[in-house]
């Protein structure tokens, strides 16, 4: 006896639900595996990684002390990096000092944990750099807000580069002195003229770093870390500044700044503190950068992020959960705020967010869940070296 239309419809619905569950389970199993490199010759693969490690910020010298003592937090961070085996690594949240002693010590710790990257570079950060002026109108000039970037001491939570590739130091450019008011279409808050004359755009830094791949062949890293859009006693200023720190790169790539963009291949790497759709912030700036014709978005994913984004806050989000790179449990939940955006002409072999599933050997690298020292997860992208070529000059 044949089944009626209602029975057929119910069977179809059940089959569809089962198929979705099977697909999800398959994705979780595949993405749970460690970030092995894509199927390409080792010499033709270039892995670039970014991670906000938050290894510092307690005071000058504390991060160096912990690294030199092989403190558990520093060792766990180094173990994750050694597991990822990046050729190029951009870090955010590592304290800066003039002689790069902290960065060199951390490079040596990563080497001791199994992965060597000989070359390091860091420029002074705007975080904690005093202006000597009252920047907020509270009658004081000595608070963490009276700086070029929020910070209690100079060098707090800076950017850093570690690389297996040589760095063209002579060609490296630091745009951290660029004034906020000089950005085309800057979204300036109501600040006094003396503040606008001093206030730099970068809360941490904006860099253009050429890496040497061969004779007359370089890959430019466009590096930055933006401040949070909602923070402290100046929410409007921070909201607008966060937007403009990302808008800087769109203007740079468009050639609308006094500094000319690189003519060769490039990769934009950093933390925007801005999700394209969810959480706080003016999301248009991030969406514009992701859609820029000079760049491509590999949209790295992880099974861990997909599984974790079941909290009530994140469940309401619009963006893909598997692309999230951070979890702030007190709000705004899971977001995508860390990015690696290769140039449009580069060939991407693979990409991912290193967010392992619970109770796996990879998850154990981060230590106990209740003792996690940073809410961020590393992002990595593998690029085919053969696609990094010198652009042809017009006749």
Token duo for residue 338? 């860390």
Among residues 225, 78, 103, 221, the alpha carbon closest in space to that of 162 is found at 103
Assess whether pLDDT exceeds 70 at residue 26.
no
Among residues 388, 392, 391, 389, the alpha carbon closest in space to that of 88 is found at 388
Dist CA 231 CA 25 (whole Å)? 38
| Three-state SS at 50 | strand
Torsion of CA 237, 243, 249, 255, to 10 degrees: -80
CB 94, CB 67: distance < 8 Å: no
**Mean of per-residue pLDDT scores for the chain:** 88
Strand 45-55 versus strand 88-94 pairing type: parallel
Strand ranges (E), 308-395: 326-328, 333-335, 338-342, 348-353, 379-384
Dist CA 35 CA 20 (whole Å)? 25
Rounded mean pLDDT, 13-36: 40
Q: What is the CA radius of gyration of the chain?
A: 22
Sign of CA dihedral 255, 261, 265, 269: negative
Residue labelled with tokens 């203007």: 251
Kindly report the number of other CB atoms within 10 A of residue 136's CB atom: 17
pLDDT in tens, 210-223: 999 999 899 999 99
Dist CA 105 CA 94 (whole Å)? 11
89 falls within a domain: yes
309 falls within a domain: yes
Total count of domains within the chain: 1
Dist CA 165 CA 385 (whole Å)? 12
pLDDT in tens, 315-367: 788 889 999 999 888 878 899 999 999 999 999 999 999 999 998 999 999 87
Residue 24: pLDDT band with limits 50, 70, 90: very low
Please state the three-class secondary structure of 235-303 as a single string: HHHHHHHHHHHHHHHHHHHCCCCCCCCCCCCEEEEEECCCCCCCCCCCCHHHHHHHCCCCECCCCCCCH
345 falls within a domain: yes
pTM for the predicted model, two decimal places = 0.89
pLDDT in tens, 71-84: 999 999 999 999 99
74 falls within a domain: yes
With 0-12 CB in 10 A as exposed, 13-18 as middle and 19+ as buried, what is 392?
exposed
92 falls within a domain: yes
Assess whether pLDDT exceeds 60 at residue 90.
yes
Instruction: Characterize 1-39 residue by residue with b for buried, 16 or more Cβ atoms within 10 angstroms of its Cβ, and e for exposed.
Output: eeeeeeeeeeeeeeeeeeeeeeeeeeebeebbeebeeee
Domain that holds residue 202: 36-387
Assess whether pLDDT exceeds 60 at residue 34.
no
pLDDT in tens, 221-274: 999 999 999 876 778 899 999 999 999 999 999 999 999 999 999 999 999 999
pLDDT on residue 76: 93
Residue labelled with tokens 């909201």: 239
pLDDT in tens, 158-188: 999 999 999 999 999 999 999 999 999 999 9
Assess whether pLDDT exceeds 70 at residue 199.
yes
pLDDT exceeding 70 applies to what percent of the chain? 87
Most distant CA atoms of the chain, gap in Å? 88
9 falls within a domain: no
| Three-state SS at 129 | coil
Dist CA 254 CA 260 (whole Å)? 9
Among residues 268, 269, 274, the alpha carbon closest in space to that of 253 is found at 268
Instruction: Characterize 274-302 residue by residue with b for buried, 16 or more Cβ atoms within 10 angstroms of its Cβ, and e for exposed.
Output: bbbebbbbbbebbeebbebebbbbbebbb
CATH of the domain at 258: 3.60.10.10
261 falls within a domain: yes
392 falls within a domain: no
pLDDT on residue 40: 60
């Amino acid at each position: 006896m044949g089944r009626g239309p209602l029975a057929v419809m119910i069977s179809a619905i059940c089959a569809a639900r089962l198929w979705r569950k099977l697909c999800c389970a398959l994705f979780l199993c595949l993405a749970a595996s460690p970030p092995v490199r894509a199927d390409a010759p080792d010499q033709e693969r270039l892995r670039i990684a970014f991670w906000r490690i938050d290894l510092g910020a307690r005071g000058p010298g504390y991060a160096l002390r912990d690294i030199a003592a092989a403190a558990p937090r520093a060792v766990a961070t180094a173990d994750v990096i050694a597991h990822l085996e990046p050729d190029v690594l951009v870090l955010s949240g590592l304290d800066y000092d003039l002689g790069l002693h902290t960065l060199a010590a951390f490079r040596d710790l990563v080497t001791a944990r199994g992965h060597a990257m000989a070359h390091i570079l860091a420029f002074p950060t705007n975080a904690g750099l005093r202006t000597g002026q009252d920047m907020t109108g509270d009658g004081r000039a000595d608070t963490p807000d009276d700086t070029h970037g929020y910070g209690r001491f100079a060098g707090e939570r800076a950017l850093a580069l570690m690389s297996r590739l040589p760095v063209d130091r002579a060609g490296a450019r630091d745009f951290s002195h660029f004034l906020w008011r000089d950005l085309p279409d800057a979204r300036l808050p109501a600040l006094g003229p003396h503040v606008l004359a001093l206030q730099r755009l970068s809360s941490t830094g904006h860099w253009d770093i050429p890496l040497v791949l061969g004779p007359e062949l370089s890959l430019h890293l466009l590096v930055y870390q933006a401040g949070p859009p909602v923070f402290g006693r100046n929410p409007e200023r921070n909201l607008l500044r966060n937007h403009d720190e990302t808008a800087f790169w769109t203007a740079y790539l468009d050639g609308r700044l006094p500094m000319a963009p690189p003519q060769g291949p490039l990769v934009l790497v950093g933390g925007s503190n801005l999700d394209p759709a969810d959480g706080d912030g003016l999301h248009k700036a991030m969406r514009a950068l992701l859609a820029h014709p000079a760049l491509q978005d590999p949209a790295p994913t992880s099974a861990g992020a997909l599984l974790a984004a079941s909290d009530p806050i994140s469940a309401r989000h619009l963006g893909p959960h598997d692309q999230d790179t951070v979890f702030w449990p007190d709000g705004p939940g899971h977001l995508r705020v860390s990015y690696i955006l290769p140039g449009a002409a580069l060939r991407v072999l693979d990409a991912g967010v290193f967010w392992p599933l619970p109770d796996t050997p990879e998850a154990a690298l981060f230590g106990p869940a209740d003792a996690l020292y940073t809410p961020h997860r590393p992002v990595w992208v593998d690029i085919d070296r053969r696609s990094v070529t010198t652009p042809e000059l017009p006749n």
